[in-house]
Amino acid sequence: MRADKRRRLERAGWTIGNAGDFLHLTDDERQFIDTKLALAEGLRHLREQLGMTQTQVAKRFGSSQSRVAKMEAAHRTVSTDLLLRSLFRLGANQRDVARFLNQKSRVHAA
Amino acid sequence: MRADKRRRLERAGWTIGNAGDFLHLTDDERQFIDTKLALAEGLRHLREQLGMTQTQVAKRFGSSQSRVAKMEAAHRTVSTDLLLRSLFRLGANQRDVARFLNQKSRVHAA
DNA sequence: TGCAGATATGTCTAATCTGACATATTATAG
DNA sequence: CTATAATATGTCAGATTAGACATATCTGCA
């Protein structure tokens, strides 16, 4: 992995010291992170397709813009429960979610 | 929905008074529950395929048998984060998870 | 029936997540 | 550049979830 991916993970709240540390993640932890990132990206795409701002989405969710930003960043304080519920609230269905997961992972082992 | 489904949801910890109450769930909440049930079933099938008991799985997870039982029951005190992490720990990958989601939901609107 | 292994349920405390809010950064128009 | 809308980051208190443990129920089988 290089800088771009690294930055994404760090922005997502994963405390990563360096690439070496990253490699300490077990395979299943990596897959879990990939899954979260996939859902987060799906949420962002869905919102953009709907032509909504994070603030508008937040209002619809009864949440705040900052939480929506964190959802889309797959921040560590955001659970997959929240991501899934949010996707469904924006009109996605299980098949859509499955499609997001099958999309090639955006983060690969270094 | 009928008794069997109803019982499943109740066992899963969803406080359901009656079918009418169930219908008060919004569509997105129903989809979220379906998703959780799909992951929970996937976990049970995976464990059975591996020929492991809940206790063995618990040991591997560093958790307890009771937690594993609750995972497989999609109990309300179990998050999708825990279900996903557990699936990956048992060797599933994102594609497998996506397949579980695409499996026809086992719970349908009444 | 009665025992043993497996699975299910209830409750507790610590850890994690949630929305709110303040504030910072970034992007776009004029 | 410089407003202004949009998005991102940090922190906190209240809500939810995690694992532990006790205990109950279920499932064969002698």
Taking CA atoms, B64 is separated from B53, B75, B101, in Å, by 12, 15, 26
Say how far apart CA B80 and CA B58 lie, in whole Å: 17
Q: Residues, chain B, total?
A: 110
Choose between A72 and A22: higher pLDDT.
A72
Burial class (CB in 10 A: 0-12, 13-18, 19+), B82: buried
DSSP character at residue A103: S
Mean pLDDT value of segment B74-81: 97
Tens of pLDDT, residues B90-100 = 999 999 999 99
Tens of pLDDT, residues A26-36 = 888 999 999 99
Residue A16 clears pLDDT 90, i.e. is over it: no
pLDDT recorded at residue A18: 41
Residue A54 clears pLDDT 50, i.e. is over it: yes
Q: What is the mean pLDDT of chain B?
A: 82
Ramachandran region, residue A8 (left: φ > 0; alpha: ψ -120 to 50; beta: rest):
alpha
Tens of pLDDT, residues A80-97 = 999 999 999 999 999 999
Nearest by CB to B80, which of A27, A84, A89? A84
Mean pLDDT value of segment B63-77: 97
Residue A17 clears pLDDT 50, i.e. is over it: no
What residues of chain A lie within 8 A of the CB of B29, using their CB?
85, 88
A with B: how many residue pairs have Cβ under 8 Å apart? Answer: 69
Question: Which of strand D's nucleotides are less than 7 A from any protein C-beta?
Answer: 5-12, 17-23
* Band of pLDDT at residue A7, cut at 50, 70 and 90: low
Tens of pLDDT, residues B6-58 = 555 555 555 544 433 455 678 889 999 999 999 999 999 999 999 999 999 99
Q: What is the mean pLDDT of chain A?
A: 82
